Structure 1
Amino acid sequence: MAFDTAGTTTTGQGAAGISQRRRRSSNSRAMNIGLPIVVFFVLVGLFYVAAFYYDKVKQLPFLVPYPHLILKAAFDEPAFQTQLLQALGNTLLVAVVGLVIAVVIGMLWAVIMAQAKWLESALFPYAVVLLCIPILALVPLIGSLFGYEFKSRVIVTVLFCLFPMIASTLFGLQSIDKGQRELFQLQGAGRFTLLMKLRFPAALPSIFVGLRNAAGLAVIGAVVADQFFQRGNGGLGVLISVENQRLNGAEMYAAIFTASILGVLVFVLFNILRRLAIGKWYDQN
């Protein structure tokens, strides 16, 4: 009877523990969903307060338009919708092309530096220069050298998102376990085998972090480049500048929020790809 009583007690405690964990998980999910919604409505309320101030007090309603006017411009004005979609497509094209080029160059750069310490010492300072370089100060030079259309937009985008790929990939390639590396070397593995079967798999988490950050910066770079290179097929940056000059506050904010949403979506997309590619085994480790 004592054994049965102890077993029953243990089973009851286990069931209670499982129930408590489920309640905690449910509460955590509710907070993760509910808190952002609450903050969103608070921000919208503050936006209305600011819009009311600039409308009634400053008499400058175009500087901060009411949120419902922004939504109306984005979803209820066919002419502006056409311009917005075209600009979005052009910005997305520049961002994708620039990101692909930055990923290829950044990973090759990191792989070369990971081969030997003297290569890292020789090349990494120039990667830091890319981070510290005043890109906006180079924009006029880039325009003079490569024109003021698609090519220059892509170059500026590459400059924006190149360093995160270099730094993240290099960190991942150098973060392999020393014992595993020595084991590969004892088995006679060459540099290429070591790179493909040990370094790259170990570097994947860091590479995806670099991809995620570089993707967000690619959108920023494409929009900034549009602000300066306004020839050819204009993107969201051109649309923002045009609507600002026309004092169309609602349309301008609609283009700004579209650019922001694009950056968030690209960021989330690469985060999902990371989870699909390495999420299970990396999270367990």
Structure 2
Amino acid sequence: MTTTVQSAGTTPGEMATAAPAPARRRKRRGTLVDVAAPLAILAVLIGIWYAITYLVLEPGKRFLMPPPQDVITEAFLDGAAMERITAALAQTITVSFTGLAIAIVIGMAWAVVMSQARSAERSLFPYAVALQCIPILALVPLIGFWFGYGFPARTIVCVLIALFPIVSNTLFGLQSVDRGMHELFTLHGAGRLTRLFKLQFPAAMPAIFAGLRISAGLSVVGAIVGDVFFKQGTPGLGILLDNFRARLQGPELFATILVAAALGIAVFLLFGWLGRLAVGRWYDQSRDPA
């Protein structure tokens, strides 16, 4: 026989309202930690920056790492400098997203072909690994010789850098479907395309978007690397970095570096958000601790 003990003056509705309070407190503490920890690390990094500038470097060499306030006043608050950086940022975004789009089409098609037959995977996957292992700097002269030194060459560099994570993650996702689900589709007489689009692709979405997040950041790197080596056409962030370096314009150089880093973080977060929209909360919640 079970006895229920209820404190005097407490109604069942009040008990139901009070029950989730610890969970709400834990969630609030988790949110505070998520905000405070990155800010604390940022403060430490800025402190290290100041220490290097004023304690390590001699006054005559502080252009190598100008203090943060100089970067703000001489670059971010300077209209002419920001106009150049903004124009270069727009060009880098165009190149990186064009290369990323092409890499997504090629990489996913490549992975789908390999997922359909073991012989296709054994035949094609080594070339994807080889493409990843070849230093991109070794291919840059050939790319410039074959495709010129403008927009197409920079886009090709982005494709080559961003391709492998899409291929490998998409292939992993397509092959990670539970065998029991395959047997269920076989029992119902599902064709190859039905199995691919209604079983494999939905199950592969978390892995696909993990690859897209990585490739999105790499495409920005590819656009900047292509700029540094292909100095023709509309300048991007890479050309601007090289120009500021050659002219010893430290504040403008660091401002451009920070803008390039912010662009990489932005595209990473963008594809993380798109992944949450496509996959939903079911995948993330399955990994949350109880």
Same fold (TM over 0.5): yes
* Residues 97-145 of structure 1: CA deviation (Å, up to 9, x unaligned): 0000000000000000000101100000001011101111111111111
Q: Within 1, Cα distance between the matches of 2:32 and 2:21?
A: 16
Query: Could you tell me which residue of structure 1 aligns to residue 54 of structure 2?
Result: 52
Q: Within 2, Cα distance between the matches of 1:147 and 1:101?
A: 19
Q: Within 1, Cα distance between the matches of 2:48 and 2:217?
A: 26
Q: Within 1, Cα distance between the matches of 2:143 and 2:55?
A: 41
Asked whether the equivalents of residues 128 and 164 of structure 2 are also in contact (C-alpha less than 8 Å), the reply is: yes
Are positions 1:110 and 2:108 aligned together? no
Q: Within 2, Cα distance between the matches of 1:179 and 1:284?
A: 23
Q: Quote the offset at 1:18 in angstroms.
A: 2.5
User: In structure 2, do the counterparts of structure 1 residues 179 and 47 end up closer, same or farther at CA, with 3 Å as the change threshold?
Assistant: same
- 1:231 match: secondary structure: coil
Q: Within 1, Cα distance between the matches of 2:232 and 2:120?
A: 40
Q: How many residues align?
A: 283
Amino acid of the structure 1 residue aligned with 2:34: N
Q: Within 2, Cα distance between the matches of 1:251 and 1:145?
A: 33
- 1:5 match: secondary structure: coil
Query: Could you tell me which residue of structure 2 aligns to residue 27 of structure 1?
Result: 29
- 1:247 match: secondary structure: coil
Asked whether the equivalents of residues 216 and 264 of structure 2 are also in contact (C-alpha less than 8 Å), the reply is: yes
Q: Quote the offset at 1:19 in angstroms.
A: 2.3
Asked whether the equivalents of residues 139 and 228 of structure 1 are also in contact (C-alpha less than 8 Å), the reply is: yes
Q: Which runs of 5+ in 2 are unaligned?
A: none
* Residues 80-100 of structure 1: CA deviation (Å, up to 9, x unaligned): 111101100010000000000
Q: Within 2, Cα distance between the matches of 1:15 and 1:193?
A: 47
Query: Could you tell me which residue of structure 1 aligns to residue 39 of structure 2?
Result: 37
Query: Could you tell me which residue of structure 2 aligns to residue 5 of structure 1?
Result: 5
Q: Within 1, Cα distance between the matches of 2:167 and 2:152?
A: 22
- 2:233 match: secondary structure: coil
- 1:60 match: secondary structure: helix
Asked whether the equivalents of residues 74 and 252 of structure 2 are also in contact (C-alpha less than 8 Å), the reply is: yes
Q: Report which stretch shifted further, 165-174 or 273-282.
A: 273-282
Asked whether the equivalents of residues 73 and 254 of structure 1 are also in contact (C-alpha less than 8 Å), the reply is: no
- 1:62 match: secondary structure: helix
Q: Quote the offset at 1:223 in angstroms.
A: 0.6
Q: Quote the offset at 1:186 in angstroms.
A: 1.8
Asked whether the equivalents of residues 103 and 159 of structure 2 are also in contact (C-alpha less than 8 Å), the reply is: yes
Amino acid of the structure 1 residue aligned with 2:146: L
Q: Quote the offset at 1:54 in angstroms.
A: 5.5
Q: Within 2, Cα distance between the matches of 1:73 and 1:201?
A: 50
Q: Quote the offset at 1:13 in angstroms.
A: 8.3
Q: Which runs of 5+ in 1 are unaligned?
A: none
CA RMSD of aligned residues (A): 2.0
TM normalised by structure 1 equals 0.93
Q: Report which stretch shifted further, 203-212 or 26-35.
A: 26-35
Q: Within 2, Cα distance between the matches of 1:207 and 1:176?
A: 13
Asked whether the equivalents of residues 170 and 208 of structure 2 are also in contact (C-alpha less than 8 Å), the reply is: yes
